[in-house]
């Protein structure tokens, strides 16, 4: 496995790989890798000849009062995990090279990115689409792998790829969870033992909603009320949103359409912001 820090290094490599007809997969990450990330690398390895994992804590997707500076960075452990999972190349650019002084061009998806996460993190998806567009131009992958854990991110990226006619396949891997159901997240390591216990309520709320749907309840307001009730029972949890939405457009739905809808939520567990979702 190679580690490449410069954009020109990846470009040189990719030119050579494409000349040899290699299928290239890109797995964009911000590092602090866990089994969720590694499952995406394995999925990429099944589909591609060369798997490039990018590790870049992207400043433009963090709001001014968010955790950019304290976001966990542990490159040594990440490189070992990437190798183990089957990555061929790890790309770790610097902020200075990705966003040189004077940088002023952004990619904005203007609809799917607006509700839910977009409503509470107004510049987040602009940062995501911008960095992903840049990574696509650098690595020119045939496919790019994302996790369903960030359902709205998947929808926004798919829309960007479609709208901008980008020749890449977007592959989505399922959410990987801890044994008790908590979705794996780099931010879980911020949780104290007490907060970690309370964070299980996200999974419980989603599970309850899914159970209700399986029992025939399709009315969104009933599902949202029940999930909110479960979350609100926890002293450290503050609900940011609970929503039933279309999985592609992220528009709020009044009724679940099986296979088309998801229930998504975001909460604060004290000062730690967590999100999760279930497809319904």
Catalytic residues: 37
48-51: long-range contacts, CB 8 A cutoff, minimum separation 24 = 48/22, 48/23, 48/24, 48/141, 48/142, 48/143, 49/17, 49/22, 49/23, 49/24, 50/17, 50/22, 50/23, 50/24, 50/25, 50/88, 50/89, 51/24, 51/25, 51/27, 51/86, 51/87, 51/88, 51/89
Q: Which of 4, 17, 40, 253 is close enough to bind ligand AMP by CB under 6 A?
A: 40
**Measured from the CB of residue 242, what is the shortest distance to ligand AMP in angstroms?**
19
- How do strand 237-246 and strand 261-269 relate by DSSP bridges? antiparallel
**Region 102-161 residues binding ligand AMP, contact defined as CB under 6 A:** 146-147, 149-150
**Measured from the CB of residue 225, what is the shortest distance to ligand AMP in angstroms?**
27
Q: Which of 113, 140, 152, 185 is close enough to bind ligand AMP by CB under 6 A?
A: 185
Q: Which of 53, 184, 199, 242 is close enough to bind ligand AMP by CB under 6 A?
A: 184
Q: Considering CB under 6 A, how many residues would be counted as binding ligand AMP?
A: 17
Q: Which of 1, 176, 239, 279 is close enough to bind ligand AMP by CB under 6 A?
A: 176
Q: Which is nearer to ligand AMP, 112 or 212 (CB)?
A: 112
Residues forming the site for ligand AMP (CB under 6 A): 29-30, 36-37, 39-40, 146-147, 149-150, 173, 175-176, 183-186
């Amino acid at each position: 496995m190679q580690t490449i820090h410069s954009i020109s290094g990846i470009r040189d490599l990719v030119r050579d790989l494409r000349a040899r007809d290699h299928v290239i997969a890109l797995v964009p990450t911000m590092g602090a890798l866990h089994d969720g990330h590694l499952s995406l690398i394995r999925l990429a390895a099944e589909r591609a000849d060369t798997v490039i994992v990018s590790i870049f804590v992207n400043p433009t997707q963090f709001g001014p009062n968010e955790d950019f500076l304290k976001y966990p960075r542990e490159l040594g452990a990440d490189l070992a995990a990437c190798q183990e999972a089957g990555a061929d190349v790890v790309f770790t650019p610097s902020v200075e090279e990705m966003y040189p002084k004077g940088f002023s061009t952004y990619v904005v998806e203007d609809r799917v990115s607006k509700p839910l996460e977009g409503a509470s993190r107004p510049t987040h998806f602009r940062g995501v689409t911008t960095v992903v567009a840049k990574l696509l131009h650098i690595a020119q992958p045939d496919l790019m792998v994302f996790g369903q854990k960030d359902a709205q991110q998947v929808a926004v990226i798919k829309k960007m790829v479609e709208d901008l006619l980008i020749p890449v396949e977007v592959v989505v891997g399922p959410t990987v969870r801890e044994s008790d159901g908590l979705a794996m997240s780099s931010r879980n390591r911020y949780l104290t033992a007490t907060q970690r216990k309370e964070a299980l309520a996200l999974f419980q709320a989603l599970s309850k909603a899914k159970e209700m749907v399986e029992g025939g309840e399709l009315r969104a307001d009933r599902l949202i009320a029940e999930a909110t009730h479960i979350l609100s029972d926890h002293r450290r949890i503050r609900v940011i949103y609970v929503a039933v939405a279309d999985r592609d457009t992220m528009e709020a739905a009044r009724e679940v359409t099986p296979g088309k809808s998801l229930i998504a939520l975001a909460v604060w567990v004290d000062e730690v912001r967590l999100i999760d979702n279930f497809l319904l």
